[in-house]
Chain A
Amino acid sequence: MATSNDGPSLSQQRQRAAFWFLAPMLLALLCVAAWPLLRTIWFSLTDTSLNNLYGGEWIGFDNYLSIRVLESGRVIYRGTLVDAAWWNAVWNTVRFAVTSVFFETLLGLIVALVLNAEFKGRGLVRAAILIPWAIPTIVSAKMWAWMLNDQFGIINDILLGFGLIDQKIAWTASPDTAMTAVLIVDIWKTTPFMALLILAGLQMVPRDIYEAARIDGVNPVKVFFRITLPLIRPALMVAVIFRMLDALRIFDLVYVLTPNSAATKTMSVISRENMIDFDKFAYGAAQSTLLFAIIAVFVSVYIWLGRVDLSGEGQR
C-alpha cells in the first residue's frame, strides 16, 4: 500500500516491459510491411517505370482514374478503375477465393472429424495428410500441370479408363475448365491446412460434453450441429479468415498452371504483369494498392459480420 506513491504501479510496469519486448517486432514489421506498403502507395501516385525507379513524378490519381475531355467534347476515362481487365481479375479472384475456401473448409472439417476419432496409426495418418501442404506450390503446380496435360496426363488417362469421359479434356487450356483446374489443385493443396486448424479446435472440446450427450441418447447428427459446431466455431472462423487472406492474394499457382489465361488471371497476376512485363510500374502499383484495399475491406467486413474474436478476450 505504501509503495503506491513511490513509482509506477505494477500494471504500468508490466505494460512498459511488454512494450520493450514488442519493440523489435514492431520495428521489423515497420521495415518489412509498412514501408513497402507506403512506398507502393506512393509509386501508384507517380509515373514511375521500372527503367527509372527513382525518377517518377507525382501525377495524382491518374493511375486510378483520369478523366479527359477532348476538344471534340468526347470524354475519355482511363485508369485501373475503368480497366475491364482489372475488374475481370477482381471477379476471378473473388470467385476463386470463395469457392476454394468453401470446399477447403467443408473437406477440412470432414478430414478433421475423421482424424479426431481414435484409431490405430492415427499419428501416421495425421503426418501423411500434411504432405500436399508441405510441397512447395511451384513444385506441386508443375506436377499437376503434367498430370492435367491433355495428351500425356494421368488424369485424362484415368477418366478415360473408367469411361467417365469419351474425349481427352484440355484442362488448363480451355477457358471453361481452367478455373476448375486451378481450384482442384488449390483444394488438394490447402485442405490439410484447414483440417489441421479445425482439428486443433476439435481437441479443445471437452470430452465430458460428448459423454453427457451419449448418456442422454442424443443422435450423432444432432451432437455435431448442437455441440461440436458451436464449440469449434471460433477456431473455424479464424481458419477461414487465414485461408481467405491467402486466397485473395493467390499468385504462384495461377502463374504456373494457367499463365496468361483471362479465365484465371487474378489481381496479383495482373498487377505483376503490368509492373514487370508491360513496364507500367506505377499502374501495377495502383493495382497492388487496390488489392490491399480490397483485402482490408473484405477482412473487416468478415470480422464484423462473423464477430470473429481475434483478440482472445473471449477465452478468459
Chain B
Amino acid sequence: MTRLNGRAWRTAAIGAIVSVLSGPVLAEEIFYVSGAVGNAVEDFKSLVKPWEEATGNTVTMVPMPASTTDQFGQYRLWLAAGASDIDVYQTDVIWAPQLADHFVDLTEIAKDAAPQHFPSIIESQTVNGKLVALPVFTDAPALYYRKDLLEKYGKPVPATWEELTITAQEIQDAERAAGKADLWGFVWQGNAYEGLTCNALEWVKSFGGGQIVEPDGTISINNEKAALALDTVKGWVGTISPEGVLAYQEEEARGVWQTGNAVFMRNWPYAYGLGNGDDSAVKGLFDVAPLPTGGGSDSSAATLGGWNVAVSKYSTKQEAAISLVLFLAGPEAQKERAVKSSNLPTLMALYDDPDIAAAQPIIPRWKEVFLQAVPRPSAPTKGKYNEVSAKFWSAVHQTLSGNGSAAENLELLEVELTDIKGSEW
C-alpha cells in the first residue's frame, strides 16, 4: 500500500519536474530593474501588459531608490559580480561609457529601430561602435511656474535668472504678508548628488560659463561667468528658496511644489503629469517654460537626461530580454509612457502624434526645451565621469552652503579635475 503510494508520488514528481524544466521555454520571467519615482511601479505593470500577452512571458519590476547615484552603485556591484538575477537594466543616459562591458551589443538587433530615434541619443548610447542600450524616454527639465500667481501680480514668465529672482521674491513677500507663511519663490534640486550636477550645469551654461569639461576634453569650469552663476544661486538659498533646498532631490522639490507652496520649480517632465493629478493642489494652475538665461547670455540650457534599457550580458534569458527591450523602446510603449506619465518620447515621429498632443499638450512644446539640451560631460570624461561629477557637485554644494566663495571653490575644482584627468581622460 505504502509502496504503491510512494511509486505514484514519484511518478507525479517526475512529471512536475519535466513540466518545470520545459516550462521556461514557453514562458520566461524577466527581471527588470529601475529607479522608481511617482507612480512608476503601477504604470510599468500596465505598460508591459501587451508584451506579456503577446509573448506569454512575464516581467517583474525590481524598484530601486530614485537617486541615480544610489542605483548606479548597486548596478555596478551586480554587474561586476556577473549576477544573472537581473535581465534588463534601465540605465541613465550618462552610464553607457562606464558600464558598456557588461551589456549585450544591440547594434545588429536594433538596426531598423535605431534610426527612428533622435540621433544624438543613439550616439550617447554608443560606445566604441557598440550600441549599449536603447532609449525609452528622454528628459529635459523646464521651469514650472504658477500661472495664477503670475497673473495675480501681473508678472510675465521670467526669461532671465535675474528676472526670476525679483519676481519670486516679490510674489513670495506679498503672499506671505497675505498669510501664506509656507510659500517659497523657487524650488530646485540642491542635494549633493547627480541632480545637483544637472542643475548647476544649467546655471553655468546659461550664464555662458561652458559645460565643465568641453567635448574636446578641456577643463573649462574655472571662469568668471561660472562663478557669477553660482554666486547668483547662492543668493537664492534662504531668500527665495528654503535653506533645506540643499537637501532636496526631485521628489522633495515636487513635494513643496505640488502642495502649492512654490511659485517656480525646476524639474523634469514627469512632474507635469503628476502635478495635474486629482490629488494635486496645483492642478490646472501651472504651466512650463524653457529655463531662463543669465548674466547677459542669450541662450538657456537644459541638462539632457533620459533613460535607456540594456540587456545584461550575464542574463540567462537574453532572447526574451532583447524582445522586451525592443518593445519598451518601440512606439507603442513610448506612446503609452508619453500619454500616461508625460515622459518625452525619443522617437521623432511621436512628437506629431495627435493622441499625445491631446493628452499631454506640453510634449510637442517640449521639443523647444529639448533643442537647448546640453549633455553632461560623460562622453569626454569616459570612465572618470562619476568622479568628475562628484567633485563638481561637491564644489557647488560647498559654495551654496557658504564654505568658500564660488571663485575659490571653482579654482580648487579645476586643480582637482586636472589631477583626475592626469595625462588624458
Instruction: List the interface of chain A (C-beta within 8 A of B).
Output: 50-51, 53, 78, 149-152, 168-170, 172-175, 258-262, 272-273, 276-280
Instruction: Let me know if B390 is at the binding interface, CB within 8 A.
Output: yes
By beta carbon, the residue of chain B nearest A177 is B243
Instruction: List the interface of chain B (C-beta within 8 A of A).
Output: 67, 69-70, 72-73, 76-77, 80, 98, 101-102, 182, 190-193, 242-248, 252, 255-256, 261, 383-384, 386-387, 390, 393-394, 397-398, 401-403, 419
Contact B246 A278 (CB under 8 A): no
Contact A152 B73 (CB under 8 A): no
Complex CA–CA separation, A174 to B190 (angstroms):
11
Contact B255 A174 (CB under 8 A): no
CB A128 to nearest CB in B, in angstroms, measures 32
Contact A149 B244 (CB under 8 A): yes
Given the known A-B contacts A170-B244, A174-B401, are A260 and B192 also in contact in the complex, defined by CB atoms under 8 Å?
yes
Given the known A-B contacts A151-B242, A174-B243, are A260 and B393 also in contact in the complex, defined by CB atoms under 8 Å?
yes
Contact A262 B394 (CB under 8 A): yes
Beyond contacts A173-B401, A260-B393: 16 other A-B pairs, Cβ-Cβ < 8 A, are A150-B247, A151-B182, A151-B261, A170-B247, A173-B246, A259-B192, A260-B191, A260-B192, A260-B193, A260-B394, A262-B394, A276-B73, A279-B98, A279-B383, A279-B387, A280-B387
Determine the chain B residues whose CB is within 8 A of the CB of A273 once the complex forms: 390
Contact A50 B76 (CB under 8 A): yes
Determine the chain A residues whose CB is within 8 A of the CB of B402 once the complex forms: 175
Complex CA–CA separation, A10 to B325 (angstroms):
71
Determine the chain A residues whose CB is within 8 A of the CB of B80 once the complex forms: 50-51, 53
CB B256 to nearest CB in A, in angstroms, measures 6
By beta carbon, the residue of chain B nearest A145 is B247
Determine the chain B residues whose CB is within 8 A of the CB of A280 once the complex forms: 387
Determine the chain A residues whose CB is within 8 A of the CB of B394 once the complex forms: 260, 262
CB A270 to nearest CB in B, in angstroms, measures 11
A-B contact pairs, 6 of them (CB 8 A): A170-B243, A172-B247, A175-B401, A259-B67, A260-B390, A277-B76
Contact A174 B246 (CB under 8 A): yes
Complex CA–CA separation, A123 to B73 (angstroms):
44
Determine the chain B residues whose CB is within 8 A of the CB of A170 once the complex forms: 242-247
Complex CA–CA separation, A259 to B70 (angstroms):
10
Determine the chain A residues whose CB is within 8 A of the CB of B192 once the complex forms: 259-262
Interface centre among A258, A259, A260 (most CB of B within 10 A): A260
By beta carbon, the residue of chain A nearest B401 is A175
Determine the chain A residues whose CB is within 8 A of the CB of B67 once the complex forms: 259
Given the known A-B contacts A151-B182, A152-B255, A261-B192, are A173 and B243 also in contact in the complex, defined by CB atoms under 8 Å?
yes
CB A141 to nearest CB in B, in angstroms, measures 13
Contact A259 B193 (CB under 8 A): yes
CB B188 to nearest CB in A, in angstroms, measures 13
- In the A-B complex, the 8 residue pairs with the closest CB atoms: A150-B244, A173-B247, A170-B244, A260-B192, A173-B246, A170-B243, A50-B80, A278-B387
Interface centre among A50, A149, A173, A261 (most CB of B within 10 A): A173
Contact B403 A175 (CB under 8 A): yes
Complex CA–CA separation, A172 to B77 (angstroms):
28
Determine the chain A residues whose CB is within 8 A of the CB of B76 once the complex forms: 50, 276-277, 279
Determine the chain B residues whose CB is within 8 A of the CB of A169 once the complex forms: 243
Complex CA–CA separation, A151 to B258 (angstroms):
13
CB A16 to nearest CB in B, in angstroms, measures 41
Contact B393 A276 (CB under 8 A): no
Determine the chain A residues whose CB is within 8 A of the CB of B256 once the complex forms: 151
Contact B386 A277 (CB under 8 A): yes
Contact B386 A173 (CB under 8 A): no
By beta carbon, the residue of chain A nearest B400 is A173
Determine the chain B residues whose CB is within 8 A of the CB of A51 once the complex forms: 80, 101-102
Complex CA–CA separation, A24 to B186 (angstroms):
62
Complex CA–CA separation, A278 to B390 (angstroms):
9
Contact A277 B244 (CB under 8 A): no
Complex CA–CA separation, A259 to B242 (angstroms):
19
